Amino acid sequence: MNDKIDFTSIYATPAQIQDFPDNKSLQEQMDNLWDQGLDAANQASTVSNPWTATNQAPCNWYVNRKDVSFPLSTHIVEPVFWTAFPNRLKLYFSQTEKSPYAFTNEQVLHLADFGDIDYNGDIPKDPSNDGLPFKIPSQTCPQMSWEQASSDWKGYDPYGPRGWLDEYCEWAVTRNPQGQIIAINFTCENPEYWYTLWKVDPQRVAELYNELLSTDTTITVEDLQLKDSKENIVIDPFTNAPAYNPLNKWNKGTIATNIGGGAVHLTSPPNTIGAEILLAAQATLLRELAPDNYNMQSLVCAGAFGRPYRNSDPHIGLQVNQVIKNVGVKIMLTNPLGLYLQAPDFSNYTFPEGTCVNDWFSVVRGRRANTDGESYDQILHMKFHAPTGYTLEDVTIGALVEGSANGPSQTPQPIQYAGQIADTFKVAIAATAVPQPEGTPVQIPLPPVGNKNGESDGYPSMIIGNQVFEAMTAVNPNPPFVALPVYLNPSQTYQDILMQVSYVSDSDNVNQATIEIYNSDSTAIDPNITITLKKVTNSDGTPVGGGSGSNGGLYNFFVTIAVAAGTTPGLRGILIKNQAATEAPTPLPGLIYINA
C-alpha cells in the first residue's frame, strides 16, 4: 500500500494522472485547482444539509484531509466494490426480478446499450421522458412496490442521454454495419475533473478526446464549446472564455460512431465526485436501527443518502457506516480521491485461438494495482477493441443459464452488449480510517432523516452564469451540473448570475431572502463581497448531484456579485438567509473562491 500519497493534506488528481507532463506550469495550475475544488467539496460535505432536512448534520465523523494531522498512527484503507452494471435496470425491468415489464436478460442488456427497446406490454411507454421511455413506482422507501397506484409512478430516472448508467460507470459502443460490436469505451472519470481541465487548457481537453476515442475524425476545441440556440459560443462570466459543453457530441449517449457519440467522462446527473463525497460523509452518521433491520436498504432510507437499489450507494453507505459503528474511527476518502474501474474478471472469458486478453482489452487512463502498489485498480478509462478481422462476438463469456437438464450451467455467450462485460467488473472507492484519541465520545445514533418544515435558511447548491445555464439545459434538460467553486476577482462585478437554491418556508417568503458571504472558516460575514438578489423563479432543473434528501422548493436565484478591491484570497461560505428562520445560521462553504 502506498501511504505516501495518502499521508498528505494535498488532494491529488485521480489516479495521480498528470495531463501536462511537459508543462510544469500548467500541471501546477491543474493540481492547485483540483486541490481547491476537492477541499471545497469536502468542507461542504461535513456541513451536510441542516437547511432542508432534519437529523442530517453535521457529519463530524467524516474528515477533510486538510484537517488531519499527518502521519496517522496506522494506515487502514477500506476499498468498497460494486458491480458496474446498473442494478436498477434489472430491478425495474427484468422478469427474474418479477417486474411487470418482464424483460428477458437480453432485453435488459439491449435497453442499457440503446436506451430503448421494442415493447408491447400492458404498461404504456412514456416517450416524453428524458432518458428511458418508461415509468416506474415513485416510492422507494421503505421498499419499492409495484402495487403503488400507477397514477403515482414517474418517468425512469436519472435522466439524460445515458442517465440510466448510474453506477459511476458509463460506456459508449461502436458497432459495424451488421450491428456487431467492434469497440467499447468504459469510463468512470468524474465531470468535475474535465471542467477543471477545460479551465486550464481547452486545447489539451481536445487532445485527450482524440486520444481516448480514436475516431477517424479530428475532434477540435470548437466541437467541445458550449453554444446557444443560434450556434453562438457561450462565454463563462467567471473565466471570460468559452464555456465547456459536457454533453458535446463526442461525450453523449451510449452509441459511438465516427461522426459523434462517445464516453470520455461521466454525464448521468448523480455520477459526480461531489455527490460521492457527500454520500460518504452522510453515511458516517449512525442511525437508530434495530439489529435485525440494519441493512443496506434500511440505512440508505434512514440516512437519505444516494439512491436505493443502486449497486453503488447502498454498498458504500453500509460499508462506511459499519466501520464507524464497529471500529470507532473517523474516516476520510483515500487519496487520490476518486471512483475507479476494476479490471474485469476474465476467468469466464474465452478468446479466439491465437489471441489473448491483451489483444482485446487495454487500460487507457489510470493504473493497475500491480503497478501502483495499491490494493485496488485505479482505472479511469478502459477499452475493449476487436483486432482486425474480429468482432466482440468472437469472444464469449460464461453466463448462468437456468433450466438445463442438471440444473444451472455455465454456457458461453458471445459478447453482443456492453452490459455483459459490465457484469464482470467492479467500480471502487476507498476510505481511510482516522484513529481517534482514547476517550473520544462515541457517536450517538440519530433518528431517520426527515423533511424540515416551518422556516429555514436556504440550501445553495450551485453558482453558474445564467447564459451558461440556459445553453446547457437547451442541450439537454438534465446536464451534469457540478458544484465546483466559482473563481472571482477583486474589483470586479458579475451580473446575470444564477444560484440554484432549495428553500423551505411555510410563509412562502423566498422572495424576501437575502444572501450573506462568510469568511473561509464561516465565523464572520465578509463585508467585501456582496450578492444582490434580483429575481427568484421556480427551477425546472435537477438539484446538483441528483438531490440529497432535500425538501422544500427548488428555485433559481438571479443575482449580481460584487467583489471589492483588496479582498483576501481564498474560499468563502454562503448563507441564504430566510428572514423568518430562528435557527443559528450555517453557511455552506466552498462555492466561491477569491483569486489573489
Q: Which of 84-98, 235-249, 396-410 has the lowest average pLDDT? A: 396-410
d(CA 36, CA 571): 8
pLDDT of residue 547: 38
* Span 411-467, pLDDT tens digits: 899 999 999 999 999 999 999 999 999 989 999 999 999 999 999 999 999 999 999
pLDDT of residue 214: 85
Q: Is the pLDDT of residue 328 over 50?
A: yes
Q: Is the pLDDT of residue 405 over 80?
A: no
Q: How large is the angle between the packed helices 191-200 and 24-47, nearest 10 degrees?
A: 140
* Span 220-273, pLDDT tens digits: 999 999 999 999 999 999 999 999 999 999 999 999 999 999 999 999 999 999
* Span 147-169, pLDDT tens digits: 999 999 999 999 999 999 999 99
Domain spans in the chain, listed from the N-terminal domain onward = 87-155, 170-268+343-415, 452-594
What's the whole-number mean pLDDT along residues 107-129?
94
pLDDT of residue 292: 96
For 460, phi and psi rounded to 5 degrees? -80, 130
Q: Is the pLDDT of residue 301 over 90?
A: yes
Q: Greater confidence, 551 or 164?
A: 164
pLDDT of residue 325: 94
Mean pLDDT of the chain: 94
d(CA 159, CA 155): 9
Give the CA angle between residues 217, 221, 226 to the nearest 5°: 115
pLDDT of residue 403: 56
| SS3 assignment, position 335 | coil
473 contacts 312 by C-beta, under 8 angstroms: no
What's the whole-number mean pLDDT along residues 484-504?
97
pLDDT of residue 463: 98
Which residue matches cell numbers 416506474? 136
pTM assigned to the model: 0.95
177: its cell numbers? 454495419
317 contacts 283 by C-beta, under 8 angstroms: yes
